[in-house]
Amino acid sequence: MAANETLVMALPKGRILAEARPLLEAAGVEPEAEFDDPASRKLKFQTVDGRLELVFVRAFDVATVVAFGGAHLGIAGSDVLMEFGHSEVYAPLDLGIGRCRMAVAEPADMVERDDPQRWSHVRVATKYPEITRRHFAARGVQAECIKLSGSMELAPSLGLCRRIVDLVSTGATLKANGLVEVEQICEVSSRLVANRAALKTRPEELGEWIDRLSGAVNGGGADGG
């Protein structure tokens, strides 16, 4: 990262971006008009003050992009940070958005005769094999993980496994697919993340945006110049 290049912030599309938008606005991040155009195919956008560029990245890739220097700042879920454990990424601020939980679920017809405390081995479908293995290993349970990128709820009905580990918000998707939450692994929310090397070489610039977003989270809005 060159010391004089424009700062780059990596953002995920979808629900997280919709929830982050008011915070970004309160922090003084004003992107060009095309940023809010759902028909646009652009992935990189300028901001009005010219000191910050915004790029769209898959939610699961934000932390990786920031860790390897593709962006100086980003918004990433704590689930992604836990899964990949990037030491190059610093997460100074919980933005309080994208709140949900990571949980173990199984078919409703298994619940009455099943006791999670008696498990010694489980096979689960999940997008989060590292978190899953660590969670079960902590209590002496061996977890065999089938990694899927989506549609986890289908795995039991397709005979891949009897249980899944996935993010749960309202529980409506689980219910619609005949599944019941039986164990919570952790709470999840979205964090502001920063590249550690950039924090050392450009502390004032990154610190300003961290402070601005902190003010937005706490209801103070932008206080930078």
Task: Judge if 183 and 195 occupy the same domain.
Answer: no
Task: Judge if 85 and 129 occupy the same domain.
Answer: no
Q: What percent of the chain has pLDDT over 70?
A: 96
206 falls within a domain: yes
DSSP element (H, E) containing 125: strand 121-126
For residue 4, pLDDT over 80 is answered with no
Quick one: the chain helix, strand, coil %, rounded to 5?
A: 35, 30, 35
Q: What is the DSSP string of 207-218?
A: HHHHHHHHHHHT
Q: Which pLDDT score, from 0 to 100, does residue 36 have? A: 86
Task: Judge if 110 and 71 occupy the same domain.
Answer: no
For residue 130, pLDDT over 60 is answered with yes
Q: Which pLDDT score, from 0 to 100, does residue 218 have? A: 92
By residue range, what is the domain housing residue 46? 7-98+189-217
Q: How far apart are the C-alpha atoms of 116 and 136, rounded to whole Å?
A: 10
Domain CATH for 181: 3.40.190.10
Q: How far apart are the C-alpha atoms of 82 and 133, rounded to whole Å?
A: 12
Q: Which pLDDT score, from 0 to 100, does residue 221 have? A: 59
1 falls within a domain: no
The answer to whether the CB of 182 falls within 8 A of the CB of 114 is: yes
Task: Judge if 166 and 121 occupy the same domain.
Answer: yes
Task: Judge if 123 and 157 occupy the same domain.
Answer: yes
Average pLDDT value for residue range 147-152: 93
2 falls within a domain: no
Digit-coded pLDDT (tens) for 78-87 = 999 999 887 8
Task: Judge if 126 and 183 occupy the same domain.
Answer: yes
When divided into structural domains, the chain yields a total of 2
At 128, the pLDDT band (50, 70, 90 cuts) reads very high
Task: Judge if 149 and 47 occupy the same domain.
Answer: no
Task: Judge if 94 and 193 occupy the same domain.
Answer: yes
For residue 129, pLDDT over 70 is answered with yes
Task: Judge if 162 and 121 occupy the same domain.
Answer: yes
- One-letter amino acid for residue 138 of the chain: A
Q: What is the 3-state secondary structure (H, E, C) of 73-104?
A: EEEEEHHHHHHHCCCCEEEEEECCCCCEEEEE
Other Cβ atoms less than 10 A from the Cβ of 2: the count is 7
Q: Up-side HSE of residue 33: CA atoms within 13 Å toward CB?
A: 0
Average per-residue pLDDT for the chain: 93
167 falls within a domain: yes
Q: With the C-alpha atoms ordered 20, 21, 23, 28, is the resulting torsion angle positive or negative?
A: positive
Q: Which pLDDT score, from 0 to 100, does residue 102 have? A: 98
For residue 157, pLDDT over 70 is answered with yes
Question: Burial of 188 by CB count in 10 Å (0-12 exposed, 13-18 middle, 19+ buried)?
Answer: buried
224 falls within a domain: no
Task: Judge if 105 and 139 occupy the same domain.
Answer: yes
Task: Judge if 13 and 46 occupy the same domain.
Answer: yes
Task: Judge if 183 and 193 occupy the same domain.
Answer: no
